Chains A and B, each alone.
Chain A
């Protein structure tokens, strides 16, 4: 079973990449900036504002990271040295997906955590109400992130070039997570909406694996 090994390996690569550095440092900084701006313009808790920003940014960043990583490794034949070993191609893709997902979710949680800390000391709204609302929306956001990231994997594997891949992920990949948002809006059931998101992510990943298995490298 090569998945745990590949996952730890990819994690080691992603967590210190430039994009992740921006997320680790940039998102908490963003929370502070939001706090400074919100003081003068809004009564909305910083936690909520940060959560909205994080939800918007993280999907785009995760899918873009995956597309760029997969396409660049495909074009430079980096995968060759992996697939000539007793390694399942499926594990190569899943390890990338899981590593990016975990990194982005962790960075988002840290940012929201910083926002919550600020609110704890400053906000007029009770913390339990703030955290309850944020937790629900974050779980929804992470389900949407899973869909976007899975779309990033599929585009990375299927796109013929980096340019096409980036265009597709910006204009197409992120819209897929809208399915989850729409389902939430019409169904009004959080658990079901999250379930739909996860199923969609699994389907996209399964298609990616199928395409990668048949891909001539």
Chain B
């Protein structure tokens, strides 16, 4: 797998299940080192996209390449540096955690003498070392999911593909998984993951893809997404002394509106094209000049959930 360049390329990829179009002409690229969060409602085609990416589905239209290797023609090469965690992790019932990880490590090319400490390393990472000798049938759903993450990491892949890795985990485990993804991302591993939990995507991903009804509506950074929606420069102002004279600021240059959203709490909207820094300075100076005391003043940034809802409800329009 090349160190630089595109690790995943989808070009006009379509997958149909009889009359249902699960993925509709999806095109996107993922750069090396990206942590790519893939979001979309149920049935949007996230899992199908992921299964196409890892080679489990091959009868699709369009072109896919992973790690610079065309799929499915050069699948074995692509699989060498790929780690995959499915949405539901299942192992053969007779296996212990240790046996499962040992087999997958060996099949992924980990040298025999390295296998025991690699297993210890990944189990410590996901914090389930004490389950090493347990049979997989004795594990809870959350622990099984952690074993799923461990098997995806055992051979230190350069590309990690995770399908809903954090769904069904308790808050502590979710936080732990996010830390793992962040740390791997910092270390240079390219990570593609899907999630319903939008705050998790916002916390972890540096690029986001929005999928709706099989169509990839948008890819880019969170900041790009906010810019795409022409998010207004709204500022939240909390007053510790409100004498009502803030209303006089309505005529301030660059300010399009100032309204009271709650007692002692204002929303100031700065118009498009206005000098934001100068206007914010003028708002603050104006409030102080008029005898208002300001406890705090800060921008209102929409979170991913709000932007995502705008996209899904508005069909992608700004």
Contact = CB atoms under 8 A, between A and B. Distances in A.
Our verdict on whether A and B bind, yes or no, reads: yes
Interface of A: 2, 5-6, 9, 12-13, 16-17, 73, 76-78, 80-87, 216-217
A20 to B, nearest CB: 11
Chain B CB within 10 Å, residue with most, of A5, A12, A81 = A81
Interface in B227-271: none
B55 A84 contact: yes
Contact of B107 (A13, A17, A85): A85
B86 to A, nearest CB: 5
A73 B94 contact: no
Interface in B73-99: 76-77, 79-80, 82, 84, 86, 88-92, 94-95, 99
A88 to B, nearest CB: 8
B55 A83 contact: yes
Contacts, number: 60
Contacts of B51: 217
Given A80-B86, A84-B84, A13 B92 contact: yes
The prevalent SS among residues of B at the interface is: loop
Interface in B33-48: none
Nearest to B86: A80
Nearest to B99: A12
B79 A85 contact: yes
Contacts of B79: 84-87
A216 B59 contact: yes
A78 B91 contact: yes
Nearest to B94: A13
A81 B57 contact: no
B189 interface: no
A81 B56 contact: no
Nearest to A9: B103
A5 B80 CA distance: 17
A72 B131 CA distance: 25
Chain B CB within 10 Å, residue with most, of A2, A9, A12 = A9
Interface of B: 51, 54-59, 76-77, 79-80, 82, 84, 86, 88-92, 94-95, 99, 103-104, 106-109, 151
Given A81-B104, A216-B58, A16 B94 contact: yes
B108 A85 contact: yes
Given A83-B55, A86-B77, A86-B109, 7 more contacts: A12-B94, A77-B90, A80-B56, A80-B84, A81-B84, A83-B56, A86-B108
Contacts of A216: 56-59
Contacts of B109: 86
Contacts of A82: 107
A119 to B, nearest CB: 36
Contacts of A9: 99, 103
6 contacts: A77-B88, A78-B92, A81-B89, A85-B107, A86-B79, A216-B58
B92 A73 contact: yes
B56 A5 contact: no
B58 A81 contact: no
Nearest to B77: A86
B101 to A, nearest CB: 11
A2 B80 CA distance: 13
A5 B88 contact: no
Nearest to A78: B90
A6 B151 CA distance: 16
Chain B CB within 10 Å, residue with most, of A5, A6, A83, A85 = A85
Nearest to A2: B107
Nearest to A87: B107
Contacts of B95: 13
Nearest to B107: A85
A84 B92 contact: no
Contacts of A12: 94, 99
Contacts of A2: 107
Contact of B91 (A81, A83, A85, A86): A81
B103 A76 contact: no
Given A77-B88, A78-B92, A85-B79, A5 B106 contact: yes
A143 B79 CA distance: 37
A82 to B, nearest CB: 7
Contacts of A76: 90
